[in-house]
Amino acid sequence: MAKQVVTEAQRRRRRPTRSGAVLSEELIVTTALRVLHEHGAGGLTARRLGAALGADPSTLYRYFAGMDDLVRAIGEELVGRARETWRPTGEWRTDLRDLGLAVHASYLEHPHAAVLTASRVTGRPREIAVDEAILGLLREAGFPDAGAVRLFHAFIDLTLAFAALDAGALTLGDDAREADEAMWTSTYARLPAGEYPHIAATAHLLAARMPHSAYPMVLGVLLDSAAGQLDRSR
């Protein structure tokens, strides 16, 4: 059974760890991101995180109800970092595109964390603030509430799906990732044109494009479609 999370005031009265650091949610999440980078999603354990913090693993449960609660906090951190880099302009389509790209980039900076958290709903304040901002952009642009929610849903799922997909590729070892990317020239480009005429005709284009994320293009298609619907409704 998870231990009770204590109040922030109680936490501040705790002694520093063996490394001299005073624990906080922020320090634990930041350290967890480092552990994920070094050991992958399967390597994030209370024991390993406690060792990295110089603290007894049980201390973590003063700040988080359990490891799943910590995972939610990590997801919130990635989304929150994206919002901090986002600079709205007042034009809904530009702002939504920039926010999507910022979220996608934030997840790709921590691919193991992205794979672990992209499918989660954290319900935490910084994630809620991003959701509020997205819905605000859409409603203020003139989308009716039902249309705003449909587009919100599509935008969020598209962004996080690509974040998970692209992050998954980054979690591969260098050799495996390079071998996958080379497949477009080592295999696809050598397929016989008589049997695979369409692949043969476009092989050089596939080799140039496929190692890169399709997220910016697909996001643009979604926003173009939404803008068209909005124009037709006026």
pLDDT of residue 128: 98
CATH class (in words) of the domain with range 1-65: mainly alpha
Average pLDDT across the chain, whole number: 92
Gyration radius (Cα) of the chain, Å = 22
Tens-place pLDDT, residues 178-224? 999 999 999 999 999 999 999 999 999 999 999 999 999 999 999 99
pLDDT of residue 22: 85
Architecture of domain 90-233: Orthogonal Bundle (1.10)
Structure-block tokens of residue 93: 């389509």
pLDDT of residue 3: 47
Least confident of 19-28, 109-118, 178-187, 203-212: 19-28
Mean pLDDT across the stretch 2-8?
A: 51
Q: Where are the domains of the chain?
A: 1-65, 90-233
pLDDT of residue 54: 93
Q: Which residues contact 74 (CB under 8 A, 6 or more apart)?
A: 29, 32, 33, 36, 113, 116, 117
Residue 12, pLDDT > 60, answer no
Domains 1-65 and 90-233 equal at CATH topology level: no
Measured distance CA(173)–CA(26) in Å, rounded: 29
Give the dihedral sign, CA 17/23/28/30: negative
CA distance readout (Å), 107 to 59, 100, 171? 27, 11, 12
CA distance readout (Å), 64 to 58, 93, 198, 219? 10, 37, 54, 35
Residue 10, pLDDT > 60, answer no
3-state secondary structure 140-175: HHCCCHHHHHHHHHHHHHHHHHHHHHHHHHHHCCHH
Measured distance CA(209)–CA(135) in Å, rounded: 33
pLDDT of residue 96: 98
Residue type present at position 79:
V
